[in-house]
Structure 1
Amino acid sequence: MRNFTIALDAMGGDFGPHISLPASLKSLQKHPNLTLIIVGDSQQITPLLQTYHLSDHTRVKFVHAPEIITMEDDPVLVLRHRSQSSMLVALQLVAEGKADACVSAGNTGALMLLAKYILKTIKGISRPALVSAIPNKKGNNTYFMDLGANLQCECDTLFNFAVMGSVLCEKVESRSKPNVALLNIGRENNKGSDSIKHCASLLKETKYINYTGFVEANELFDGDADVIVTDGFSGNIALKSYEGMGRLFLSELKKAINTNWYTRLLGKLLNPLIKNQLKHLHPDLYNGASLVGLCGIVVKSHGGANVDAFSHAIDQATKEIQWQIPSCISTRLASVSAERDCLLHE
């Protein structure tokens, strides 16, 4: 892979540079062809660059950005009044061709709005989507979108999401003709909203998407679908329900283990086996949601991510750079559009 550069919003997230900087060092060690442009407030960043052995690193550059976007800031006000924020400056570096991607753990709404404003969307895309990999029973990843960027979606928007998700999964996961499904309240063709049913009809007609039908929420993790598409409202609720159930499961498991001396002893004996069996489900491995549909690569890390998780978000950006995902999406959309035009004139 060629040398590449990622602009890092070092100030975003719950812990700012205290997470993004050690994660940067880890990523630099993992990727010898990676250069990082660390964007943030010099007063806070400069001492930490020395702490994390980045001040003299040959593949680290620093750009001063004195303003910080908080998680509570209104995205529209951010667009108007935070022209020197670390998030905006990092995105601007991508727009200017000085960086190949941007990674941020900051305010999701602000990142979405700023990215769309600065980078613009791919021709044919009106709304970017937030997509992330989730684990499944088959031991690989399912790409799930939209995760909250677009609360309500018309048929064409969902259709474009399916195209983009298919391309992302095909390239990043090296899966030929990934299975694409729509999240619905039932598998029957007469179930769901008009937008969902109309989108299903369009997906069946195109040869560029391997559409396999509807899936229900209890099938998200079966692994039968490589890509699952829904609107941002349903997607966000489904994802957070899964996260909450995971916490409940762990809480109940701890209670069961600590019931008495026998279960505690049994828990100690089984602990290595359980950890090994469940290691692929660790949430750090799935940190890094991509904003697809933009004329540039943007990866959103969870605001509360730790060092390993933030480093994984950087890994996701490197994969998308390698495959030039925006260009691949643009090419696929052009083919799909041409196919639809032919069908309309037949």
Structure 2
Amino acid sequence: MRSETSCGDYTLAELAGVVGADVAGSPDFRVSGIATLKDATSDQLAFFANSRYLSQLHQTSAGAVLVAEQHRDDCPVNALVVEDPYLAYAKLSSLFAPRDTAAQGIHPSATVDPTATIDAAAVIGANVVVGADTEIAAGCVVGANTVIAERCNVAEGTHINPGVTLYADVKIGRNCIIHSGAVIGADGFGFANEKGRWVKIAQLGGVTLGDDVEVGANTTIDRGALSDTLIGSGVKLDNQIQIAHNVEIGDSTAIAGCTAVAGSTKIGDRCTIAGCSGITGHLEIASGTHITAMTLVSKSITGAGAYSSGTTAEPHSSWKKNVVRFRQLDNLAKRLKVVEAKLDKFEGHN
């Protein structure tokens, strides 16, 4: 059902046309792959985006390198001169990715409810289960052993990798990528306490993903309690992230691995949230906010900027001393207030 095809090669002139580069060297030089400055061979393209690797640029065996204008003369081989070499690398990388071709249609081992609608130009892999009233559009690929429950909608061009679970009432936009192990639409963590006994709150909402969303491996997005959990267009979620019920994430926000976002929090557009961060529930995070790694956000952020709370590593002996001092802060603050009061009183008599 699936076979791998060659991704081909490209001239520097062709690659320059993709990223708007100026060719320094031979426009007809052919590139068959992309690699690092250190590992690239004479028929591959590399990129130079960090000055700490200047020595590697000088010594590279690459056939061509993406460089910024200020480093044009530092490049000993053919160059594609661009404003942002890393961005240009990102745009060109997909050209060199191995391409799988898949025969359109439904694998004989798949189980599809009679009321489901699957476009003839979609691909449904082995042992896939598709529930009632679900719609899968043209150009979608659903990998083996994936379960898509009832009343889901998967829009054009979305790629669902093997072993994904979509609960009922999940809507996925165009050209999304869902990686293996992701679970979208499981119950949110909703309970009411009755004299020490937890009473489950039925989760009646769903999950809606916009266009061009990527969901990492083993990431979970819970369904809403009443209305949908909302993931905006262009959002990028890394592996092993927890998004709780009724969370709203704005367009083009990126969240790194092992971050957890508690229920009903609203995150604005174009935010970046680094790994292992925690965001408590019912907060609002302003658009354009950057949260650094291992930060705990426990109150709303109303102004864009960078926010941190995690501490960096230090020698264990110093860390133990600082822990002790941290525990003394409250007592020190109280003693300082007493000293300040006495000082004010003393100065008042003079």
Query: Shorter-normalised TM-score: what interval?
Result: under 0.3
Higher relative contact order (CA 8 A, sep 6+): 1
Q: Which has the higher helix share?
A: 1
Q: TM-score normalized by structure 1?
A: 0.25
Q: Which has the higher strand share?
A: 2
